[in-house]
Amino acid sequence: MSTPSENTLFGMGNPLLDISAVVDKDFLDKFGLKLNDQILAEEKHKVLFEEIVKRNKVEYHAGGSTQNSVKIAQWMIQKPHKVATFFGCIGTDHFGEILKKKAEEAHVDAHYYEQNEEPTGTCAACITGDNRSLVANLAAANCYKKEKHLDLDSNWELVKKAKVYYIAGFFLTVSPESILKVAKHASDNNKIFCMNLSAPFISQFFKEPLMKVMPYVDILFGNETEAATFAKELGFETDDIAEIAKKTQNLPKENNKRQRVVVFTQGKDDTVATVGEKVTMFPVLNIDQNNIVDTNGAGDAFVGGFLYALVQEQDLEECIRAGHYAANVIIRRVGCTFPEKPDFH
């Protein structure tokens, strides 16, 4: 196992403050929300944010998919601090200050692009039983500008220091040109670029930017629903998840030195991954239904655990085992939060 140095892992995405609250079915119906879905907030959801904050037991957590994943990777690494770097855009406001403080507490080297036109983005996590429905109001997160942040020499130096890159598909709606610049750098230098399908709407409505980045993707993550939507959009004509993984692995790729790895999680069912020429199933850790507090963040946590093992140059099986461990820890708690120290052996 090699000990990673500072800034080995680079993440870029939408930094959001998660506002989670337990709601009832009527609340979901009122705003037309589906169980276990992720959507971008529209005009009709503006009231939702005002209402959810008034509910009892509201919790605030630093969130945003990519930021969650790099934070969990850093938590599992423990020392050295700041192995993980994170870029994204926030507002110059109270929520922005909270995000900065939380990133610092998590020992993530966050370099935010700060602007004052839009407030810091928020994500309402509406929890019903062990389901969650996410509504993201990107606001400031949507204002990330390549030329005002990523292209600055001091920031690009941090990108160059990394060996592993991870960007969730959600960022395709914000700055596809920033993703491409990082992805090409990784590919040209034979470094590892990872991406996530993130949500069904990404494959449906942002297919063009997604497919522009795909040739540079060394490791692609997703869950069973996202995989099915992706397959449908690409005309794979199969709903067999192993088959979808194989076909995705075989999509055109720029850097031939690395064969693409595709990893699809399926909640409590086996994780599906391409291993060389075959597709393998990896069972998740058993958990009593009563111990599941909140499945929000399970996917982000899986990626975080995976990245922890990946930056230490471990094999795929070990990366998946670490991913399963992290997800198992996260679903026992509210939000994407974790105990002080990991207990992973």
Gap between the Cα atoms of 185 and 193, Å rounded: 9
Torsion angles phi and psi, residue 228, rounded to 5: -65, -45
Gap between the Cα atoms of 208 and 214, Å rounded: 10
For residue 80, say if its preceding peptide bond is cis, omega within 30 degrees of 0. yes
Gap between the Cα atoms of 240 and 21, Å rounded: 35
Of 37, 300, 315, 343, which residue is the catalytic one? 300
Which residues 6+ apart lie within 8 Å of 209 measured at CB?
172, 176, 179
In the chain, which ranges are E strands? 9-12, 16-22, 38-40, 59-63, 84-91, 109-115, 122-128, 131-137, 164-168, 192-196, 219-223, 261-266, 269-275, 278-282
Cα-Cα end-to-end distance for the chain: 13
**Side-chain half-sphere CA neighbours of 118 within 13 A:** 15
Tell me, yes or no, if 24 is annotated catalytic: no
Which two three-digit tokens encode residue 64?
Answer: 């945003």
The DSSP call for residue 149 is I
Which two three-digit tokens encode residue 49?
Answer: 């944010």
Which two three-digit tokens encode residue 203?
Answer: 């494959």
Active site residues: 300
